[in-house]
Amino acid sequence: MTFRRTKIVATLGPSSNSPEVLEQLIIAGLDVARLNFSHGTPDEHKARAKLVRELAAKHGRHVALLGDLQGPKIRIAKFACKRIELKVGDPFTFSTSHPLTEGTQEIVGIDYPDLVKDCGVGDELLLDDGRVVMRVDTATADALHCSVLIGGPLSDHKGINRRGGGLTAPALTEKDKADIIHAAEMDLDYLAVSFPRDASDMEYARKLRDESGGTAWLVAKIERAEAVADDETLDGLIRASDAVMVARGDLGVEIGDAELCGIQKKIILHARRHNKAVITATQMMESMIQNPMPTRAEVSDVANAVLDYTDAVMLSAESAAGAYPLEAVQAMARICIGAEKHPTSKASSHRMGTTFERCDESIALAAMYTANHFPGVKAIIALTESGYTPLIMSRIRSSVPIYAFSPHRATQARAAMFRGVYTVPFDPAAMPPEQVSQAAVDELLKRGVVKPGDWVILTKGDSYHTIGGTNGMKILHVGEALV
């Protein structure tokens, strides 16, 4: 039985809307379904969420739902003829007073007035994720007059970034605030915040989530130059979140592609050190939008993220709007399993010199140390209320699978994002205490995960209703009578 430890996030859209395709994606190994609030209506997202949960339940799978807020993506307005072609050296103007539907070969409207205030002469502006680049030559009160450095096609509503960051748009727009309420109504498991600058943006998002009655874990999308400017800002942003996403599109545009790979590795490392889940995203299999096979470079990109120990790898347009959504998920699963055979995935020297702040963290790390140093251990069972104990366990490099045993739907789905963690619905409070260990091990025997003679580690709390209450660890011999 081959277990894939790295999880797959796939964005739903026109290519993956039908129940038939969605069901195939779930069978192929979809772990987290991403609802991109930049597109579609709340009702469409609610219908998708319901369908995912129904199909996952049908196949005994646990698929988390991730809502992704649009954020203050600054975009140009529209062209009268939909699209223009720019050449190197062409003059081009961004104007806050030009009519928003009347863009021409020389000028386009913009509905973000602060762009003119935020930019000055000599700044570089990048459009459409850096495909077109311009330099600001002169600036007036309502316009930036530029010349084209890298030409190409430009069409309606393309995004605009400033090289080096520095655009002042707040992280949460009015649309985002409404979508946080929709996310609570859908009972989403994760909610991604676009373009946060620092911890305070995430704290504000958490306040709005709490006011909406939502319980989704918050994912900080790291995509602004300011967010990675220094370790203090990055670590603050990570600490204020429940998970992070390496959002390589806008981040690569703002910091430059040469810096991106090193920063990706740093974000993954820091997220894991702070006990947070981490998703690596953007263009992982971009060529599969049109082709049924990935390029060798894309294979290497996904495999490298796996070797860096990311929790999840993500598909965007490949699964939302591409011609081969199923093949993209299958290819990703195949590459993850291949990369996980590499020996770096099996040993850890992590946290040898650190002290722990919590009892459950101490038990979780003791369990992982034991699992990695006692070769007979074939599985770890974590009886968990919130999913925190298996999350901590999965921060440690190990080839031993971790099973999150929980009675709660939200915890069962949430754990679907954690690397090397598998969900087992299980309610220890429904049986006499002396039967819990045996019943838990029997679940793994039933699934063919362990056999008589294997060892299993089990962690639990004295109370099954206390979050953060894990305070005990047992090593159990499969096949013996257990209490």
**In this structure, are strands 152-155 and 83-86 parallel, antiparallel, or unpaired?**
antiparallel
Q: What is the pLDDT of residue 464?
A: 66
- Residue 11 annotated in active site: no
Instruction: Give the C-alpha separation, 33 to 41, whole Å.
Output: 16
Q: What is the pLDDT of residue 73?
A: 87
Instruction: Give the C-alpha separation, 248 to 261, whole Å.
Output: 9
- Tens digit of each residue's pLDDT (9 = 90 or more) over 18-66: 999 999 999 999 999 999 999 999 999 999 999 999 999 999 999 999 9
- Residue 34 annotated in active site: yes
**pTM of the predicted protein model:** 0.94
Instruction: Give the C-alpha separation, 138 to 298, whole Å.
Output: 40
Among the listed residues 75, 131, 239, 334, the single catalytic one is 75
Q: What is the pLDDT of residue 351?
A: 57
Percentage of the chain exceeding pLDDT 90: 89
The residues near 320 (Cβ < 8 Å, ≥ 6 apart) are 10, 11, 12, 13, 14, 15, 16, 36, 39
- Tens digit of each residue's pLDDT (9 = 90 or more) over 81-140: 999 999 999 999 999 999 999 999 999 999 888 999 999 999 999 999 899 999 999 999
Among the listed residues 11, 282, 384, 411, the single catalytic one is 282
Instruction: Give the C-alpha separation, 90 to 391, whole Å.
Output: 52
Per the model's pLDDT, the better-predicted residue between 471 and 459 turns out to be 459
- Residue 397 annotated in active site: no
Instruction: Give the C-alpha separation, 196 to 202, whole Å.
Output: 7
Among the listed residues 4, 221, 397, 460, the single catalytic one is 221
Q: What is the pLDDT of residue 343?
A: 67
Is the CB of residue 329 less than 8 Å from the CB of residue 319? yes
Residue 225: count of CB within 10 angstroms of its CB: 22
- Residue 75 annotated in active site: yes
Instruction: Give the C-alpha separation, 67 to 75, whole Å.
Output: 21
Q: Enumerate the H helices of 102-230 as residue ranges.
A: 114-118, 174-186, 199-212
Among the listed residues 4, 34, 248, 276, the single catalytic one is 34
